[in-house]
């Protein structure tokens, strides 16, 4: 038998995902060694409290509070601590020591990815982060490698399971946001403080990472326009349903060309109406999916579990083995290419359709007045539908008007909505939501 090399693996953090990674490294050691061509030896697990209770039973002697020493002695470092520091410093130490790094830390990557990628390039080591976006779904590698000969034009992602679960609950049961959130918390799909999920911050970090890879340009969190779902009402969902749409929180990155032929990328997160027959509309519960449009490949979709200890561990292990195989074979790791240099566009430059719900006076000439106002703002109307409700007791009639526009600039749409509010025939603007996939 030939001697098989051993690679030392340092694990930083032992939460939900980390504990599963440690379990798999120990339980599947033989199978992983066969696939890698080297034994992956878990050399230690850095935690804050070595005596804390874990989800998985693991050998006590692996635990240490001395992350720094652990990292300096490792060939491969898995960072699952989350947050900015000390994760950032430990990753830089690992890179400078020539170790390959695997991380799932989307917040750190969205904030400080460029520095980390650059340091990894300089050191000739791999920095992999498949687990940072859409958990178990292989999405970053397909974008980076499989689509490297194509031009991606648009990415639409359901990349936050908590908000997809809440919106799906609202859609299927008619629940209000607060009740659906409470149900998500009860089932463990939402945290006690759900802000990062429901306000779209988590999705925004993932949008920055997706946009960077899709358009070969580094985008940071500050380039992402972000709106959450806490203002989406049961009435919005019901009206969307009635019109053949479903509401999803989408992370969107798309290339736009302005009138002068200048190119830019609009990166944004917001609640979005999708036609019910769109492939993303069928993504239910806490599942994630990323829909990609590319010039040559056409439409692609990647679907799976976006969170959870075991599914996310699968993505971490995939990155780990790819890095380990490279160490075994020798030769430098692949580097990120950022050859695009397309500017990030402000939200006003985004091109989108609007769905607008209006409570209007039921009198002749109202529709003409509203249509003229849209035309004056250069916004073209695709669908306009009026429904009259008559209260059985009072006999009072109210009119509800639903408008879906053609694609127009966000700035023109926002100006139109402002102007609509000033019309004397408008009682109230009941909802304004963006539409994709039409």
Over its C-alpha atoms, the chain yields an Rg (Å, rounded) of: 25
Contact flag: residue 282 with a copy of itself (CB under 8 A):
yes
Binding test (CB under 8 A) with a copy of itself, winner from 15, 279, 343, 346: 279
Closer residue to a copy of itself (CB): 229 or 281: 281
Contact flag: residue 11 with a copy of itself (CB under 8 A):
no
Site for a copy of itself, residues 174 to 233, rule: CB under 8 A: 216
Tokens 């109230």 found at: 428
Binding test (CB under 8 A) with a copy of itself, winner from 8, 39, 72, 141: 141
HSE at residue 384, side-chain half, CA atoms within 13 A, is 13
| Active-site residue (options: 206, 241, 255, 369) | 206
Nearest approach in angstroms of CB 214 to a copy of itself is 12
Nearest approach in angstroms of CB 65 to a copy of itself is 27
Contact flag: residue 146 with a copy of itself (CB under 8 A):
yes
Helix (H, G, I), strand (E, B), or coil: what is residue 149?
coil
Closer residue to a copy of itself (CB): 208 or 286: 286
Nearest approach in angstroms of CB 397 to a copy of itself is 41
Tokens 């679907």 found at: 303
The closest alpha carbon to 312, from 320, 300, 322, 324, belongs to 320
Q: Check the CA dihedral 334-340-343-349 and report its sign.
A: negative
Answer yes or no: are the C-beta atoms of 221 and 250 closer than 8 Å. no
Closer residue to a copy of itself (CB): 15 or 346: 15
79 forms beta bridges with 12, 103
Q: Which two tokens stand for residue 274?
A: 């999708």
Q: Which stretch binds a copy of itself (CB under 8 A): 171-179, 256-264, 305-313, 411-419?
A: 305-313
Binding test (CB under 8 A) with a copy of itself, winner from 155, 317, 358, 426: 317
Rounded CA-CA distance 168/184 in Å is 11
Nearest approach in angstroms of CB 117 to a copy of itself is 15
Q: Is residue 248 flagged as an active site residue?
A: no
Q: How far is CA 15 from the centre of its chain?
A: 21
Nearest approach in angstroms of CB 92 to a copy of itself is 23
Give the largest CA-CA distance in the chain.
91
Rounded CA-CA distance 126/102 in Å is 8
Separation in Å, CA 378 to CA 68, 266, 435: 59, 21, 18
Binding test (CB under 8 A) with a copy of itself, winner from 4, 6, 31, 421: 31
Q: How far is CA 72 from the centre of its chain?
A: 32
Answer yes or no: are the C-beta atoms of 347 and 410 closer than 8 Å. yes
Q: Check the CA dihedral 371-374-376-379 and report its sign.
A: negative
Q: Which stretch binds a copy of itself (CB under 8 A): 88-96, 148-156, 160-168, 421-429?
A: 148-156
Binding test (CB under 8 A) with a copy of itself, winner from 304, 355, 377, 410: 304
Rounded CA-CA distance 212/106 in Å is 13
Contact flag: residue 437 with a copy of itself (CB under 8 A):
no
Q: Which stretch binds a copy of itself (CB under 8 A): 146-154, 228-236, 370-378, 392-400?
A: 146-154
Q: Which two tokens stand for residue 221?
A: 């969190």
Closer residue to a copy of itself (CB): 143 or 204: 143
Helix (H, G, I), strand (E, B), or coil: what is residue 392?
coil
Just list the catalytic residues. Answer: 206
Residues that bind a copy of itself (CB under 8 A): 20, 24, 28, 31-32, 34-37, 130, 136-138, 141-142, 145-151, 216, 279, 282, 294, 296-305, 308, 310-311, 313-318, 320-322, 325-326, 329-332, 334-335, 337, 339
């Amino acid at each position: 038998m030939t001697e098989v090399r051993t690679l030392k693996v340092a694990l930083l953090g032992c939460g939900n995902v980390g504990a599963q990674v440690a379990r798999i490294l120990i339980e599947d050691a033989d199978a992983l060694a066969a696939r890698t061509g080297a034994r992956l030896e878990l050399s230690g697990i850095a935690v804050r409290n070595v005596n804390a209770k874990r989800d998985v039973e693991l050998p006590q002697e692996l635990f240490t509070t001395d992350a720094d020493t652990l990292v300096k002695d490792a060939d491969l470092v898995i960072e699952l601590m989350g947050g900015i520091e000390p994760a950032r410093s430990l990753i830089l130490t690992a890179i400078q020591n020539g170790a390959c790094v695997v991380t799932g830390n989307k917040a750190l990557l969205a904030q400080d990815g460029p520095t980390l990628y650059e340091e990894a390039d300089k050191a000739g080591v791999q920095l992999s982060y498949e687990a940072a976006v859409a958990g178990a779904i292989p999405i970053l590698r397909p974008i980076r490698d499989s689509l490297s000969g194509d031009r991606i034009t648009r990415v639409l992602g359901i990349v936050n399971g908590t908000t997809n679960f809440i919106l799906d609950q609202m859609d299927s049961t008619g629940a209000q946001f607060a009740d659906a959130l409470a149900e998500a918390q009860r089932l463990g799909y939402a945290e006690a403080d759900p802000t990062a999920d429901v306000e779209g911050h988590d999705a925004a970090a993932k949008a920055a990472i997706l946009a960077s890879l899709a358009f070969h340009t580094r985008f940071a969190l500050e380039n992402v326009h972000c709106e959450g779902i806490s203002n989406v009402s049961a009435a919005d969902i019901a009206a969307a349903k009635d019109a053949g749409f479903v509401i999803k929180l989408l992370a969107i990155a798309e290339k736009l060309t302005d009138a002068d032929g200048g190119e830019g990328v609009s990166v944004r997160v917001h609640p979005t109406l999708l036609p019910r027959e769109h492939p993303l509309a069928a993504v239910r519960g806490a599942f994630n999916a990323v829909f990609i449009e590319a010039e040559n490949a056409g439409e692609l979709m990647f679907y799976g579990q976006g969170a959870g200890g075991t599914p996310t561990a699968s993505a971490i292990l995939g990155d780990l083995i790819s890095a380990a195989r490279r160490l075994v074979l020798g030769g430098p790791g692949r580097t990120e290419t950022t050859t695009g240099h397309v500017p990030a566009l402000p939200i006003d430059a985004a091109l989108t359709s609007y769905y607008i719900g209006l409570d209007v006076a039921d009198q002749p000439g109202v529709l003409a007045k509203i249509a003229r106002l849209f035309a004056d703002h250069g916004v073209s109307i695709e669908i306009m539908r009026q429904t009259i409700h008559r209260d059985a007791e009072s006999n009072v009639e109210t009119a509800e008007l639903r408008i879906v526009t053609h694609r127009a600039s966000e700035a023109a749409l926002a100006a139109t909505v402002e102007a609509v509010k000033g019309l004397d025939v408008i009682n109230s603007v009941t909802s304004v939501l963006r539409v994709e996939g039409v």
